[in-house]
C-alpha cells in the first residue's frame, strides 16, 4: 500500500473524531429540541462555554481526566466513546472503500447511524429530523453509488418502510400492544434509500440476529416481559454497517437472491 493511503487513513480517523465530537452535541441536543449550531458547547454543570483547546476530540477528555476544566464536574466517558467510535468507523470504511466515489456517502450514513443509535439507546426514539430527510438524501446519493441504481433505492424505500410497517402492525394486532416503534419503520426506509432494496432483508436478518444475541440474555437478567425491552434501532444500524462492509463479498449471494425474487415475482404474472 502506498504511503498516501496510510496518511489518508489517519486523516480519516481524525476527521471521524472531530465529526464524532459534533455528533455528541447532536445526540444531546436533538431530543431536547435545541439548535445544534448555537450556542457554543457549555459545561452542563457550571455553564462555562468550552474553549476549543478543551474540546479536542479524545485528547481533551484524556488530558482533563474526564472532568470539566473549570468546575471539575465529571464528563461522561460516553463522549470519549462516541468520538473514538466515529473515528474508528470512518477509518474502517476508508480502509474498505478508500478513494472510491462511494466513500463520502458511506461516511455520511455512518454519522447519521451513530446519532440514531445513541439517541435510541437514551430515549427509545429515532429522531424524525434525521430519518425523514435521510430518505430523499439516500435516494439522491444512489446516483453516486455504482451498485445501487435509483430504481433499487426507490424500491428500497418502499420495501424497507413497508416490510417493517407490516411486522409492526402485525405485532400490534396479535399482542394488542406496541412492540416496535414506527421510528424503526422510517429508519429502514432510509437504509433502503441508501443501500437499495436488496439490502433490506440482510439488514433485518443481521439486525434481528444481533438483537436476539444481546436482547434475550438482557431480558432474562431483567426478567422483562415479552414486550421488546431493547431498542431495535442500534441493531438495524449495526446490521446496515455490517452489510455495507461485506456488500461486495456478498455480491454472488445477492445476485442469486435478487434473481430468485425476480423469478418469483415474474411467476405471479
Give the interface with Zn ion as residue ranges (CB under 5 A): 43, 45-46, 68, 70-71, 73
Cβ proximity to Zn ion: between 63 and 129 the closer is 63
Cβ proximity to Zn ion: between 44 and 104 the closer is 44
Cβ proximity to Zn ion: between 67 and 177 the closer is 67
To Zn ion, the closest distance from the beta carbon of 47 in angstroms equals: 7
To Zn ion, the closest distance from the beta carbon of 49 in angstroms equals: 10
DSSP codes joined into one string, 71-84: T-PBPPHHHHHHHH
Phi and psi at residue 74, to the nearest 5°: -70, 135
Distance CA 204, CA 188 (A): 9
- CA distances from residue 254 to 12, 196, 243, 260 in whole angstroms, order as listed: 30, 12, 11, 10
Helix (H, G, I), strand (E, B) or coil at 49: strand
To Zn ion, the closest distance from the beta carbon of 90 in angstroms equals: 29
- Residue 191's H or E segment, with its range, is helix 182-195
Distance CA 111, CA 109 (A): 5
To Zn ion, the closest distance from the beta carbon of 75 in angstroms equals: 9
Cβ proximity to Zn ion: between 72 and 175 the closer is 72
Distance CA 92, CA 235 (A): 18
Q: Which cell numbers in the block locate residue 238? A: 449495526
To Zn ion, the closest distance from the beta carbon of 76 in angstroms equals: 13
Cβ proximity to Zn ion: between 73 and 253 the closer is 73
Task: Look at the chain and count its residues.
Answer: 269
Amino acid at each position: 500500500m502506498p504511503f498516501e493511503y496510510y496518511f489518508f487513513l489517519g486523516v480519516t480517523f481524525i476527521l471521524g473524531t472531530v465529526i464524532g465530537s459534533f455528533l455528541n452535541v447532536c445526540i444531546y441536543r436533538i431530543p431536547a429540541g435545541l439548535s445544534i449550531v448555537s450556542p457554543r458547547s457549555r459545561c452542563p454543570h457550571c455553564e462555562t462555554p468550552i474553549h476549543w483547546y478543551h474540546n479536542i476530540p479524545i485528547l481533551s477528555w484524556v488530558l482533563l481526566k474526564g472532568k470539566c476544566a473549570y468546575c471539575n464536574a465529571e464528563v461522561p466517558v460516553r463522549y470519549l466513546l462516541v468520538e473514538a467510535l466515529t473515528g474508528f468507523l470512518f477509518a474502517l470504511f476508508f480502509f474498505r472503500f478508500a478513494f472510491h466515489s462511494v466513500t463520502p456517502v458511506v461516511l455520511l450514513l455512518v454519522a447519521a447511524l451513530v446519532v440514531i443509535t445513541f439517541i435510541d439507546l437514551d430515549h427509545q426514539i429515532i429522531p424524525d429530523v434525521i430519518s425523514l430527510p435521510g430518505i430523499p438524501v439516500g435516494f439522491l446519493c444512489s446516483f453516486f453509488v455504482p451498485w445501487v441504481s435509483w430504481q433499487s433505492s426507490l424500491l428500497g424505500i418502499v420495501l424497507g418502510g413497508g416490510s417493517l410497517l407490516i411486522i409492526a402492525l402485525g405485532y400490534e394486532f396479535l399482542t394488542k400492544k406496541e412492540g416496535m416503534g414506527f421510528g424503526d419503520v422510517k429508519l429502514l426506509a432510509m437504509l433502503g434509500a441508501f443501500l437499495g432494496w436488496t439490502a433490506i432483508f440482510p439488514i433485518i436478518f443481521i439486525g434481528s440476529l444481533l438483537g436476539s444475541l444481546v436482547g434475550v440474555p438482557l431480558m432474562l437478567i431483567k426478567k422483562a416481559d415479552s414486550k421488546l425491552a431493547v431498542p431495535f434501532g442500534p441493531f438495524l444500524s449495526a446490521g446496515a454497517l455490517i452489510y455495507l462492509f461485506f456488500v461486495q463479498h456478498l455480491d454472488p449471494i445477492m445476485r442469486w437472491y435478487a434473481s430468485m425474487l425476480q423469478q418469483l415475482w415474474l411467476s405471479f404474472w
